[in-house]
Amino acid sequence: MNTISSSRFGKLGQYGIFLAFILICIVLALSTPKFFTVSNLLIIGNQVSINALLAFGVTFVIITGGIDLSLGSMVAVTGVVAATFAHPDTFPLLVPLFAGLAAGSAIGAFNGLVITKSKVPPFIVTLGTMTIGRGLALILSKGRPISNLSDAFNFIGGGNVFGIPFPIIILIIAFVICSVILNKTVLGRYMYAVGGNEPAARASGIRVSNVKMWVYTICGLLSALGGILLTSRITTGQPNAGAGFELDAIAAAIIGGTSTSGGTGTMTGTLIGALLIGVISNSLDLLNVTSYYQQVVMGVIIIGAVVLDGLGRKD
């Protein structure tokens, strides 16, 4: 009973966010003519892509009732790893891509393993991985950015296909795959079950540890994709890149209606959450609002979204 009503109101909350998003876009389009242009919308899509990928990953994790704070550090490690193998005339493009994705999946799997075997809360485990990851990125890069990357590698984050920035294409593909995993597969249904009521899920025969291993590994993989995009976009592997990215990603998921208590959340909601953050930060730049105020506005929106979600639930 409980899960049914909360998911219905979760949808209502998400509907609210969607309306809020449209409303904000209309206000912005009216306040500056520069906002609603094709080139600006493409730029927003491009800027949103990295955060959205991380947010998709963390949405899986939050739905199972967990959290992942190591996203930003995974972005740095995987970016540095990929950059190491991406110098021109060294390895074919697949090598840096595979190395980066493998590094991210490995760190994610490590998170999952420690969380399921030790029963230490995910908050603590991933807080530790966040620090380890940052340290690894600094060790691997010797504290210095890794530049001089091949053109093929730089295309991933900087290239266009039929006028559409490549990161947007990656974003759309990732969105479709993540939505399918969440809505159309057994694994997706198990994720909701584990997050909604873990003892019940266990009692009904779901192998909870396996589900958790999967979500943290997927989250690591998506972070790696984000790390590769970032590295390619700025054409350097930066050991200090991605600091604080986990917070933006978690914010996107929560704004999009994913409940931190687990069991509810959708990829569409998260995508809207990420777009909302991107649209606001883009338009505050267009309107030349000082960065101090930008931070305040962003915080107000996050709290507002959660309050809205909470109200929906009580009714």
Partner 1 sequence: MKHNGIFAALFAATLLVGCNQSKTNETGQEGSGKKLVIGATMLSMQNEFIVNVADEMDAKAKELGVELIIVDAERSALKQVEQVESFIGQGVDAIIMNPCEVEASSPAIKLAMDAGIPIINVNSETSAKPTAFVGSDDTESARIAMKYIVEKLGGKGNILMMHGFMGQAAQIKRDNGAKEILKANPGLKLLAEQSGEWDRAKGMSLAENWIQSYGNQINAIFAQNDEMGMGAVKALEAAGLKGKVLVVSVDAIPDALQAVKKGTLDATVFQNAKEQGSKAVETAVKAAKKEKFEQQVLIPFQLVTKENVGEFLK
Q: Dihedral angle at the C-alpha atoms of 53, 55, 57, 61, nearest 10 degrees?
A: 180
Smallest separation, CB 215 to partner 1 (Å)? 22
3-state secondary structure labels for all residues of the chain = CHHHHHHHHHHHHHHHHHHHHHHHHHHHHHHCCCCCCHHHHHHHHHHHHHHHHHHHHHHHHHHCCCCCCCHHHHHHHHHHHHHHCCCCCCCCCHHHHHHHHHHHHHHHHHHHHHHHHHCCCHHHHHHHHHHHHHHHHHHHHCCCCECCCCHHHHHHHHCEECCEEHHHHHHHHHHHHHHHHHHHCHHHHHHHHHHHCHHHHHHCCCCHHHHHHHHHHHHHHHHHHHHHHHHHHCCCECCCCCCCHHHHHHHHHHHCCCCCCCCCCCHHHHHHHHHHHHHHHHHHHHCCCCHHHHHHHHHHHHHHHHHHHHHHHHC
Q: Which of 143, 299, 304, 310 binds partner 1 (CB under 8 A)?
A: 143
Which residue lies nearer to partner 1 by CB, 2 or 290? Answer: 290
Q: Within positions 155 to 184, which residues make up the interface with partner 1, using CB under 8 A?
A: 158
Q: Within positions 272 to 311, which residues make up the interface with partner 1, using CB under 8 A?
A: 281-282, 285-286, 288, 290-292
Q: Which of 20, 43, 208, 306 binds partner 1 (CB under 8 A)?
A: 43
Q: Which stretch binds partner 1 (CB under 8 A): 40-48, 101-109, 183-191, 260-268?
A: 40-48
Smallest separation, CB 150 to partner 1 (Å)? 15
Smallest separation, CB 135 to partner 1 (Å)? 6
Residue 47 sits in the site that holds partner 1 (CB under 8 A): yes
Residue 24 sits in the site that holds partner 1 (CB under 8 A): no
Q: Which of 88, 121, 135, 304 binds partner 1 (CB under 8 A)?
A: 135
Q: Within positions 213 to 252, which residues make up the interface with partner 1, using CB under 8 A?
A: 230, 233-236, 238-241, 243-244
Residue 105 sits in the site that holds partner 1 (CB under 8 A): no
Which residue lies nearer to partner 1 by CB, 2 or 288? Answer: 288
Distance in angstroms (rounded) separating the CA atoms of residues 142 and 233: 21
Residue 20 sits in the site that holds partner 1 (CB under 8 A): no
Please say whether the beta carbons of 105 and 217 come within 8 A.
Answer: yes
Distance in angstroms (rounded) separating the CA atoms of residues 99 and 101: 6
Residue 49 sits in the site that holds partner 1 (CB under 8 A): no
Residue 185 sits in the site that holds partner 1 (CB under 8 A): no
Which residue lies nearer to partner 1 by CB, 218 or 224? Answer: 224
For partner 1 (CB under 8 A), the number of binding residues is 40
Which residue lies nearer to partner 1 by CB, 199 or 244? Answer: 244
Binding site for partner 1 (CB under 8 A): 32, 34, 37, 39-40, 43, 46-47, 127-128, 130-131, 134-135, 138, 143-145, 147-148, 158, 230, 233-236, 238-241, 243-244, 281-282, 285-286, 288, 290-292
